[in-house]
Chain A
Amino acid sequence: MNAHVKPVIEQVGQRSVASIRGDFPVLHQQINGKPLVYLDNAASSQHPQVVIDAISRYYEHDHANIHRGVHTLSQRATDQFEGARDEVRRFINARSEKEIIFTRGTTESINLVAQSFARPRLKAGDEILISALEHHANIVPWQMVCEQTGAKLKVIPINQQGIVDFAAFEQLIGPQTRLLALAHVSNALGTVNPVEKFIAVAKRHGVPVLLDGAQAVPHASVDVQKIDCDFYCFSAHKLCGPTGVGVLYGKQALLDAMPPWQGGGDMILTVSFEKTTYNQLPWKFEAGTPNIAGVIGLGAALRYLNQLGMTNIAAYEHQLLEYATQQLKQLEGLHIIGTAPHKAAVVSFVTDGIHPHDLGTILDSEGVAIRTGHHCAMPVMTFYRIPATARASFAFYNTFAEVDHLVAALRHAREVMG
């Protein structure tokens, strides 16, 4: 099938997209009198009814604090919470549940590694390596730890297509490098980094690798053992799960050797005023009462995604990306930013004479939700010498007709702006 042609039936595996859309209540509404076309999935995805129900059911029937009560509700809550941990372990194929730490999101996961893993190991003159297409969440925590330790942040450049310069990476990595922190998929450009290639080189230099997987896990099957990264971070809310929940995967030997990041309840075995002994993994890194409902919601989201199949999702989203790219290219004065051959379903663009924020407002008046701005990747904008982009990001519940709506709304924007 020609990827640029609309398929006769839109399908994710065995399910039609029309029936999948029935699972997402939020999609069925009018915005400014027009049907909602939600194309801001890279910022946050929507929730199927099963996730909303799992959270409601927990609050209606099972809520209590976890890991501490012998009563029935506490045990139910604990079972569901720990059950979700096992869902996550299987979703990314980690060896053990001890390697799955629940956090508030990708940002907190990266900060945890920066402060608990990197900071004690770093001294003046050491280097941390990141790329030029990182989200601020994979820049600022490293800048902070560099300030604290005298280490230096080194940045692997990108080219005009938005591809990380692999040859430059091989030059930059060296005896001073203590960590490579790299996006698996760029949120601003959609570039999929060939992380296995980077990790192979890092291994030869004995450099541990953290991957920011926030934009990767929603779009493809991720196997942390196969990739062989040391740390992998992602957020629930880009995976049809709730906000306020994230995951840090770390290899057990590394996590074991790391000191706790935050102190408090749940992360201890015994406490006296003289000496506290810390809990085992993963709870050593989960101080305080966590977002129990959020974690349970994440578990439900992963079961839902597994039923659809991540490979099926990736295949359908790729068709959407190809179609959207081809349709947008036909618009005069529109320039796609980020043209790597291997991309997730994200299209960033600028239009001659129309600022992205005006596009955002005009598209919203047509019911089309896109993101406009710097996408928390200001260095990427600086590289392309643009203040901002408009970004349409797709999920498996989007349709080819919605791509057509986007294109029509962009034509309308041209009329409005004269």
Chain B
Amino acid sequence: MDLKDLYRDVIVDHNKHPRNFGRLDPADAHADGHNPLCGDQLSVTVKLAGDKIDDVKFDGSGCAISVASASLMTEAVRGKSVTEFEALRGKVHELLTQHDSSIDPMSLGKLGALSGVREFPARVKCASLCWHTLEAALLHQSEPISTE
């Protein structure tokens, strides 16, 4: 286990300088996520253009992994349809959790930097919270998302 696998330069950078940080107002979709064990709180707001994610921002507080994952996610999903988002979410989930994943991290661009998280099982929830939260926003779930 190498710490540099977890805190790669991309992760450290997106933690220090989160992209798309804030709230869209008005927004077409919104959801809150919460990791009760860590105290991570996350809000995601989305503007839609038809079926496509036109703009997305996140707000809240959390550890470097959760902030960087959210920041990277907002960059990656802009312009994607809900179906395309679901496919990407599935790939990221596999990358975060499965050691024998056949997904090439390089194929996911900057998101590939999250592949080190799977060596730190206690931190998978940190990285996945934003993805669950954005999914909830897009599916218009009213209950706040919890990792527990």
Contacts and interface: CB of A to CB of B under 8 A. Distances in A.
Interface string B101-133: 000000000000000000010110010000000
Contacts of B141: none
Contact of B39 (A358, A373, A418): A373
**3 A-B pairs with least C-beta separation:** A387-B39, A355-B63, A357-B63
Contacts of A374: 39
23 contacts: A355-B62, A355-B64, A357-B38, A357-B63, A357-B65, A357-B123, A357-B126, A358-B7, A358-B65, A361-B3, A361-B120, A361-B122, A361-B123, A362-B3, A365-B1, A387-B39, A388-B39, A416-B4, A417-B12, A417-B15, A417-B64, A418-B13, A418-B16
A357 B62 CA distance: 9
A378 B35 CA distance: 13
B97 interface: no
Interface in A114-154: none
Contacts of B15: 417
B37 A361 contact: no
B64 to A, nearest CB: 5
A373 to B, nearest CB: 6
Contacts of A356: 63
Place the interface of chain A in its size category.
20 to 34
Given A358-B63, A387-B38, 8 more contacts: A355-B62, A355-B67, A357-B126, A361-B3, A361-B123, A374-B39, A378-B39, A416-B7
Contacts of B135: none
A32 B119 CA distance: 12
Interface in A359-378: 361-362, 365, 372-374, 378
Nearest to A362: B3
A418 B67 CA distance: 15
A312 to B, nearest CB: 36
B98 to A, nearest CB: 20
A373 B37 contact: yes
Contacts of B13: 418
Nearest to A353: B16
A365 B39 contact: no
A362 B123 CA distance: 12
A416 B13 CA distance: 11
Contacts of B77: none
Contacts of A328: none
Contacts of B41: 387
A126 B10 CA distance: 56
A394 to B, nearest CB: 23
A188 B63 CA distance: 19
A54 interface: no
A281 interface: no
A372 B6 CA distance: 18
Given A32-B1, A418-B12, A418-B16, A387 B7 contact: no
A348 to B, nearest CB: 13
A35 B15 CA distance: 30
B40 interface: yes
Contacts of B67: 355
Interface string B34-48: 000111110000000
Contact of A387 (B61, B122, B126): B61
A340 interface: no
